[in-house]
Amino acid sequence: MFDSGLGGLSVWRELTRLLPQEPVIYLADRAYCPYGGRSAEDILARSEAITRYLIGQGAKLIVIACNTATSAAARELRRRYPELPIVGMEPAVKPAALHSRSGQIAVLATRATLKGDKFLDLKAQYDDSVDILPLPGDGFVELVENGDLGSDEAHQVVRRQLQPLQAHAVDQVVLGCTHYPFLSHLIEAALPAGVKLVDPARAVSQQAERLLHRHGLATTSSHAPTHRFVTTADAGSMSDFLRRVLDHQGEVSVVDVDSVAD
């Protein structure tokens, strides 16, 4: 699994619940985080380097635990590695549209994701059935990367970004960035009662499970797996986040993905 930073750990959390027997190596590209303001070409280059590194570490399946990287790189990575099962993130527009009573939903994501072809194609598919409000979560990734999940400043950042929703009858908010579930309590507090948050992590984990079985890659051992956590920067704060937020004592090592991949 990889992400620009810590956000993909929200997917790792769900994946390990569903597949407790599977060992996972998780790479956080924190030296280049956030991806949201980078060009598609830069994100593809990072995703390619990381994918090659993970293959070299023995990865049998890749989860791109980042909406922005999925939008910029998933299609090309599948072309370059046709034998490697690759699972990407997709804003959960379909379930939100199906369950909306008001006919209005919002997709909360990075600006890069909201500009990407994947989201625009999804939006076009459902524009006739629901009104879809794209809403950038400016500053949300930085809050999670800094471990700030509850300060007054964090509350203010979230309230400010969600302010445009006050003019709409939105009843479903799609979390279109894997960092955002770690701020769900702040997001819910800033929304009217009854608005539902839609997190695709469960569906992504189920797709990973399906592909593992389809390709005969599922682990059959009953032994407790070892999870590895790797980052391109800031190992100490990542270790702290694992302990404090996820109650996991995993050690984090630092790797220079550029030099490893070359």
* C-beta of residue 90 within 8 angstroms of C-beta of residue 65: no
Tokens 């790189």 locate to: 73
Q: Is 177 a catalytic residue?
A: yes
Question: CA–CA distance from 221 to each of 15, 65, 139, 225, 229 (Å)?
Answer: 17, 25, 42, 9, 21
* C-beta of residue 38 within 8 angstroms of C-beta of residue 112: yes
Tokens 């597949």 locate to: 19
- Which of the residues 44, 63, 66, 69 is marked catalytic? 66
For residue 1, what are its two tokens? 């699994």
- Which of the residues 49, 69, 158, 177 is marked catalytic? 177
DSSP character at residue 31: G
Amino acid at residue number 203: A
Q: Is 66 a catalytic residue?
A: yes
110-135 per-residue burial string, b: 16 or more CB within 10 A, e: under 16: bebbbbbebbeebbeebeeebbbbbb
DSSP notation for 126-186: HTTTSEEEEEE-TTHHHHHHTT-SSSHHHHHHHHHHHGGGGGS---EEEE-STTGGGGHHH
Q: Is the peptide bond before 34 cis (omega within 30 degrees of 0)?
A: yes
Active site residues: 66, 177
